[in-house]
Amino acid sequence: MDARTIIAGVRDGKGLTSKSAKWFADGLASGDVTDAQAGAFAMAVFLNGLSEKERVGWTLAMRDSGSVLEWNLPGPVVDKHSTGGIGDCTSLLLAPALAACGACVPMISGRGLGHTGGTLDKLEAIPGYRCDVSVEDLHRLVAEVGCAIVGASADIAPADRRLYAIRDVTGTVESIDLITASILSKKLAAGLEALILDVKVGSGAFMKTPERAEALARSLVDTANGAGCRTAALITDMDQPLASSAGNALEVLEVMETLTGVAINQALWDVTVALGGEALALAGLAEDAGDGADQIEEALESGRAAETFGRMVAALGGPSDFVERYPDRLPSAPVLFDVVAEEDGFIAEIDSEALGHAVVHLGGGRLRGGDRINPSVGLSEIMPIGEPVEAGEAIVRIHAANPGDAEKAREVVQAAIRISADEPEEPPLIHQRIA
C-alpha cells in the first residue's frame, strides 16, 4: 500500500477502504505521507467526496492516529461542539451545567479561527487559567470536578493537526467530508458516549446558507452515530451575535453574569438550555430533551452550575474566588467608545462576520499564527435585530487598547449594522434539529 495508489483511487472515484484510510492517516501522523501527497488527497476528497461508510472509516482512522481516551467514571461521558460564531460562549455555561446534572464533561476545545472566537482564548482571559494539561490531569479533573475545558494534547488526532494546516493552503477547507472528519476525530478521541452539535448558520457562521448548514449537520450526525457515539445537532442562528458581547474577557463577564443571575441574555440562555437538554437525553440522564432542558435550567437557576464552574477554574489554576469576584479578576480595556445610531428606526440587519473581524483587528484574535491576544478588547452592548433605536443612541460599545483602534473599529461596526424604518422579522434562535 502506498500514498499514490490511495490518492489515485479517491481521484478516480474508486473510493477509500478502511485499510487505505488507516494507512494514510497513520502516514500523516508519522510524516511518511508528504505535504504534497496530503494536499493531493484533500483535493481528491474535495472534488469527488466520500460515501457515508468511507467518511466513517476516514474519521475513525484520523481518531486512531493518536491516543483515544478511556474512562471509568460514575456518569456518562458527554461533550458539545459548536462550528463557531460571534458571541458564542455557550460552552462556558453548558459544561458546568451538564456536570451539575450528573454528566462527565471532558470538553476539548479550540482557539479562535478566522472571524470566530475560541473557547480557550476566552478562558485564558481568566488570570492563571491553564488550558494545556496532561491526559492524567484531565482524568483527575473530570473525576473531581465533573468537567474540564482544555485544549487537545499533541497525541490527540495528530493526523488531523497535520491535514488541517494543509487544507488551509490548498483550497480544500470547505469540504464537508474533511470538516466532518476533522471535528469528529478529535471529539471521538475523547472517548465520548454522547455528543451534541451546535451548527451555526448565517452571516457570522462558516456555513452561510441553510442548505450548507443542514448538509454539514447531517454529515456530522450520521458519521458520529456510525462511529458509535450517540449524537444529534441543532442548527442555530448566527445572523447576529448570540451574546450581547464579542471578545474574550467581555464574553466571560457575560457568562458569569448569567451563571450568577446578575443579568441574563435570554438568547444565550435559551440556546444553552436547548443544547443541554438534548445532551442529557442522548446520555440517558433525561427522559427526553424537554426533561433535560428543565434539568439544565434548574442547574443554572440554583447556582449549582456556577459553583461547578468556580471549582473548575480553581482546579485549572485560576482564582479560587472567581465566581464571587469575577468583575475584579477580568482585564478591562482603557478606551471605551460608543457607536451611535445615525437615524431613528429598528436594528434591521447585522453583518456578524464583520463584527468578528472588528474584534480580531482590535487585538482580540489572531491575524497571523503566533499573534498574542489582548483579552480585554472587543464589543459589548450589541443591540439585537428588531430593537428600536433613536438617532444618537448607542448601539454598540467598543473596548479598545487605544483611540486609533477604536476609530477603525467604529467605521467597521457602523457599516455592519443596518437601521431601517420598518420593524424587521427577528430570526429564529433554533432553525432545525438533526437526529
- Cα distance between residue 258 and residue 269, in whole Å: 8
The three-state DSSP-derived secondary structure of 311-333 is: HHHHHCCCCCCHHHHHHHHCCCC
Please count the other Cβ atoms lying within 10 Å of the Cβ belonging to residue 284: 15
Q: What share of the chain is helix, strand, coil (3-state, %, to 5)?
A: 50, 15, 35
Q: Which three cell numbers stand for residue 7?
A: 490518492
Active site residue 83: no
Report CA-CA distances (Å) from 341 to 365, 414, 417, 423. 26, 8, 9, 15
Q: Which of 64, 79, 177, 405 is catalytic?
A: 79
What stretch of H or E contains 399?
Answer: strand 394-400
Phi–psi pair at 387, nearest 5 degrees:
-75, 130
Amino acid identity, residue 162? R
Give CA angle at 22 (16, 26), nearest 5°: 130
Q: Which of 162, 186, 200, 230 is catalytic?
A: 186
Active site residue 82: yes
Active site residue 186: yes
Active site residue 109: no
Active site residue 182: yes
| Burial class of 140 by CB neighbour count within 10 A (0 to 12, 13 to 18, 19+) | middle
Q: Which of 22, 63, 162, 167 is catalytic?
A: 167
Q: Which of 22, 55, 80, 357 is catalytic?
A: 80
3-state secondary structure of 41: helix
Closest CA to 181 of 279, 74, 55: 55
Q: Which of 22, 139, 161, 187 is catalytic?
A: 187
Q: Which of 82, 153, 172, 244 is catalytic?
A: 82
Q: Which of 63, 81, 397, 431 is catalytic?
A: 81
Active site residue 81: yes
Strand runs labelled E in 51-102: 78-82
Active-site residues, by number, are 79-82, 119, 167, 182, 186-187
